[in-house]
Structure 1
């Protein structure tokens, strides 16, 4: 990231050198608060990171952009990757340049969720499949809660957790089905 780069926010400001966490260099837009992070720099930092608590617990607000952004390095559209169902925001990644754009507050969101040292995973296909699966499961549970009520679903979850811990789980389920 040695050449001059500019943010594609409304101000079109030149990105300046900054440090996202101790020893983690980035380029920052003073106008919108977003940062451009090189994945090679991130991987070096992650190898040296002692703690995943890289940000304070202060209140913050994530300013997640609504649309894909052009990569400040090559101008191609960056891919958007969901961090999770909770926290629910997206980071932008350019696979060809190996750059990640973090909107204002997104680094703090990653850190608070314990994901600051897992950014490489967040921008992977496997992580995105898991987020989709988690979202589908959450929607299904919300529908079941609407249909059967919170108390019923909470009790079913408790019973399922208990059954999962039993060595003869299948036998116990068969007894329940047979009305023993």
Structure 2
């Protein structure tokens, strides 16, 4: 049995995580190791991907350990991947053997959102790019809310949506940019 990448000396125990999905569980920290071949076999057996859903309030908060972890199977470093989608934790993935470490409650948090069947997508460049784009959007939204206030921000969003669909959009924007549209300057 491999050792826990968090607790180091604790042997991981075989644990059926889902029907037809074997994981390796640490009794001390509560983490789970899933080998790539086991996850892929589970996905194949499981069938279609479930639609994403909003988080419930009954799932315990994931324990996202920040420490650097070593793959319990092959000894390579585990790389961190942001989950995104409103979550605030990372998954630790071995780029050498493909296994994934889930800190305590991370699998439950993913399962609660129906993201547990998309772990193989979370570690892709496109998913990570979208996570960064969403974080950027959130940063700008916070900035604009602070600049304009809630009521003005909602109003400017409404106007922007209206303008974007208007057939005379360019003329309307030109009109708005001229200080005195009746003098031509």
How many Å apart are 1:37 and its aligned residue?
0.6
Change in 2 beyond 3 A, CA 1:85/1:146: farther
- Structure 1: runs of 5+ lacking an equivalent: none
Aligned to 2:144: 144
- Structure 2: runs of 5+ lacking an equivalent: none
- Please give the root-mean-square deviation of Cα atoms over the aligned residues, in Å: 2.3
Aligned to 2:42: 45
Structure 1 moving runs of 4+ over 4 Å: 161-164
Q: How does 1:109-120 map to 2 (within 5 A)?
A: 109-120=109-120
How many Å apart are 1:102 and its aligned residue?
0.4
Question: What secondary structure, in the 3-state scheme, does the structure 1 residue paired with 2:127 have?
Answer: helix
Counterpart check, 1:156 vs 2:164: no
Change in 2 beyond 3 A, CA 1:21/1:177: farther
**Aligned equivalents of 2:153, 2:46: Cα separation in 1:** 41
* TM-score between the two structures when normalised by the length of structure 1: 0.84
- Say if 2:93 and 2:123, in contact at 8 Å, map to a contact too: yes
- Say how many residue pairs are matched: 172
Aligned to 1:133: 133
- Say if 2:59 and 2:108, in contact at 8 Å, map to a contact too: no
Decide which moves more: 131-140 or 146-155. Answer: 146-155
Aligned to 1:6: 3
How many Å apart are 1:38 and its aligned residue?
1.3
Decide which moves more: 147-156 or 130-139. Answer: 147-156
Higher Cα Rg, which structure: 2
Change in 2 beyond 3 A, CA 1:133/1:79: same
Aligned to 2:72: 72
**Aligned equivalents of 2:114, 2:162: Cα separation in 1:** 28
- Say if 1:121 and 1:127, in contact at 8 Å, map to a contact too: yes
Question: What secondary structure, in the 3-state scheme, does the structure 2 residue paired with 1:92 have?
Answer: strand
| CA deviation string 1:54-74 (max 9, x = no partner) | xx9533120001122111112
Change in 2 beyond 3 A, CA 1:25/1:158: farther
How many Å apart are 1:148 and its aligned residue?
0.7
